[in-house]
Structure 1
Amino acid sequence: MNAKFFPYLSLIIVCWLTTGAAIIAQNAATLLESAKREFKKDYATQDMAQAAQNLRRALATAPNNPEIHYFLANALDRVNAANASWVASSNRIKVAEISQHLERCISLTPRYAGEKLSLDPYSKLGAIWGSLAMGYLAQNLPDSARWAFQQGKSRGAYLDPQLELCRNLLNSCSKNAVLFCSGDNFSYPLFYLQTTENFRSDVQIVDVNLLNSDWYCLYLAQHASNTLLREGLSIDAIPNLVSWKTGLVSTKINSGPCGKVKNFEWDIPQLMNGDFLLRSEYILLQFILGNQFDNEVFFTIGFSKDDLLYLDNHLEFGVLVQRLNPCMSQVQKGAADYLRNYSITSLPKSQSAIYYSTDLVNQLNFYRIGYANAIFQLIELGKLDDAKALMAAMESRIPTDVVPLFSATLGDYIAKLKESLNR
């Protein structure tokens, strides 16, 4: 070949390689977007097996794309949940595969910046290993459950500041209380503490979001305290939708600070599903009616008014929990009282892993919200010195250079409180 053609040949090869790489990247992006569209469909029409197949093809050409690993993990988890239900022994290998993709996502980008579903990679790690652990508990295999929870922690879930927050949350509950959780970010770390550390195992934890799943109802049927269930109620036989008439609901008050008041009633004016309660809503209602305040009832932060069955006007704010109080006219424990008893010692000196997990940042900001509300209460009472002391405690215990503010609105609220204290 004539030497004068070599420069042109080199240019052709470079162009071919560049074009090929661009086509490969474009194909991976197309497959990723196709999979994302499945997640946005109604649950009944989703084809997660096809989404997982597309994501595997995308990963073959773009193995270092953290977003592909993240979505593949979530697709495999949904396939796993649909096919294997709660049977832990059949899930173990699949959970390990899902975990590997989440761990790879975290190693590629510790602070995941791609499109997120309901949980960030750290929280999703905790959820899959926590689900496996709960499956083992449903089969009365506590040693296997402890192993599963410990696997989750060793792989990056259940970070120490989150576990400390959950210890504070459990310690906010009275002895033998019932605690309703609003989602995975609370429930699995709480179950972790009770299962691996036997910490506050007297508290009955109920994850409301899981009440619509068959395996969890079976678990509760085996493990829930008898005092929580109405006589004759078969929790694992309740249909997905239960007919219900709106209006006043009432139950007895067997114990507590209400004095001569022996009945508690509240109004459920409307339902999200017409004349029906979801199974989760019905079970929550039956727990409350069956309990009759023999055990105090608490809710984690994060429930909507609908999820609470319109009990929101009967909840006493406690920073990390809300206590169902049938007689709100009685003297209530203030947010400052809860905060004084909280241990907040596991925060690192810098943002590090806290900053990486957006879900954990959001959770830790509940401390800050509690402080802000307590400061506002003190300002309203004219106790400015106490309010200033609490503001200083907040800035010392929850510094913004370690736990960033999770919203500009909260930052503005705290700034206005400072203005009130400096007048």
Structure 2
Amino acid sequence: MKQPIVILLFVLLTLQAYGQNPTLKEQALDKFKKEHYSEAILLLEQAAKETPKDAEIFYYLGWFNHYRAYDSRPLSGYSFSYSEQIFKYLDKALELKPDYGDAKYFYGAECSGNAFIAMQNNDAEKLRYFYKLANDKGAYPAWLKEFGRNFLKSCDANAILFTGGNADFDVCLYLQLHENVRTDITLVPIGNIDRPWYVKFIKTGLDGTIKKVDLNLTDQQIMDIHPFKWDTTMVSIKLSSEDKKQFGLSDNYLFQWQVEPDLFSERMHSKIESEKAKKRAYLSPQRAILLQIVEDNFSHRPIYFSNFCSPTLFGGLNSFFQNCGLVSRLTPVLTKDTEFAFNYSKMDELLQEQNVVNFKTLINSSMPRISGVIVSGYYNTLLNLSEKFDKTNDLKGKNYLKLLFEKHLKIGYDTEFENEIQKK
């Protein structure tokens, strides 16, 4: 009787031990979380040999190699052949799973990486090529293009629009390059303005393809961008007579931005003998260039920021933002709890039926990495506008939003958020 029990226990323990051993894919994900990209990729290459029909493995290979090339330290020996391999991995993922939304997203991201190299080389033809390739591969589905048009449409003429990343920048640049949508706007990915080559690029623009940004810096100063010694400083920004009129400001009003350091060193420092030593503070290249762009352009070009940016990149400017729905306009006044906090007219324009006819297609062509963010942009706009209609007792407006939501925006993607909206 004891022998069968022993055998059974052995089998159970073996199965338990087997179940506890992570798969190669799971090991790769663990390495990736620790940003050990090369080790993660080696594990995935092994996994691909063992399970060559697993679309997710090839998706991860495309994604992780993309990160190793663009989101880690410079990759020694990088060439376009490396990018071609990323495309092959993602093509394989899409061959195995044609509706793989995130594989399409990363195909677009890899095209964008190559497009930025084209910018560095001032190659307008290749820039256009890679954005067309991304579109051909399905990186910009109908709902995302619709978002891009609405995003650009939210800005006034001749604007500078700081974007957050691939989700909002790429589709908008595609629309500018290939559908001639709002080419008066200069798109500036806020995370890229710490790169000297890119700052130089936006200063000059590209062959009538990308509109330049005024920068009162020499090329030598741009190429020498580095962390600058800095302490909290109030900077006065020139503003236009139109802004003074719109916001009811006096002729001698100054738009003052308190610019704080955003990099710190453990080095203790004192400038003069009588000063108590303190940790050295710096202005990062990103914040320094943001300051320069605002300083050199605010008086003659409207400036907007994507509502999908990380607020840490705004440097405190968000205290001057006017929420327009998908974007926020930089104003010369502090807007919190004022009549300038929201531009309800822009929000109302955004939430017109003709602007959301493709929203429902998101449910069948979702890109989980970005879909939720885009959905939240529309839903937050609807909630803000609904709150305004509540305050003004605008029943017609409330009913319109309710009908719009039921007909176009309620798609079952984020049921918790949708339930919150219905309660309003």
* TM-score (normalizing by structure 1): 0.78
The counterpart of 2:163, out of the listed 181, 199, 211, is 181
One-letter code of the match for 1:99? F
Unmatched segments (≥5 aa) in structure 2: 1-10, 266-280
Asked if 1:40 corresponds to 2:50, the answer is: no
Structural mapping, 1:21-420, within 5 Å = 30-41=23-34, 46-81=35-70, 83=74, 90-91=79-80, 93-109=81-97, 120-213=102-195, 215-223=197-205, 228-232=214-218, 234=220, 236-259=222-245, 260-261=250-251, 262-268=253-259, 271=262, 273=264, 275-327=281-333, 328=335, 333-334=343-344, 335-340=347-352, 343-347=355-359, 351-354=363-366, 357-401=368-412, 404-405=413-414, 408=416, 410-417=417-424
CA pair 177-214 structure 1, distance change in 2 beyond 3 A:
same
Aligned equivalents of 1:131, 1:86: Cα separation in 2? 16
Question: Does 310-319 or 30-39 show the bigger shift?
Answer: 30-39
Contact map agreement 1:133 1:145 (CA 8 A) in 2: yes
Q: Tell me how far 1:318 sits from its aligned partner.
A: 0.9
Identity in percent = 23
Aligned equivalents of 1:85, 1:240: Cα separation in 2? 23
The answer for the alignment partner of 2:6 in structure 1 is: none
* TM-score (normalizing by structure 2): 0.78
Contact map agreement 1:251 1:292 (CA 8 A) in 2: yes
CA pair 38-177 structure 1, distance change in 2 beyond 3 A:
same
SS at match of 2:332: coil
CA pair 141-303 structure 1, distance change in 2 beyond 3 A:
closer
One-letter code of the match for 1:340? Q
SS at match of 2:236: strand
Aligned equivalents of 1:227, 1:52: Cα separation in 2? 40
Unmatched segments (≥5 aa) in structure 1: 1-14, 113-118, 418-423
Q: Tell me how far 1:100 sits from its aligned partner.
A: 2.7
Aligned equivalents of 2:223, 2:362: Cα separation in 1? 50
Aligned equivalents of 2:311, 2:361: Cα separation in 1? 37
Aligned equivalents of 1:189, 1:235: Cα separation in 2? 31
SS at match of 1:316: strand
CA pair 383-397 structure 1, distance change in 2 beyond 3 A:
same
**Cα RMSD, aligned residues only:** 3.3
One-letter code of the match for 1:320? L
Q: Tell me how far 1:395 sits from its aligned partner.
A: 2.2
Contact map agreement 1:86 1:215 (CA 8 A) in 2: no
Aligned equivalents of 2:144, 2:138: Cα separation in 1? 12
One-letter code of the match for 1:413? E
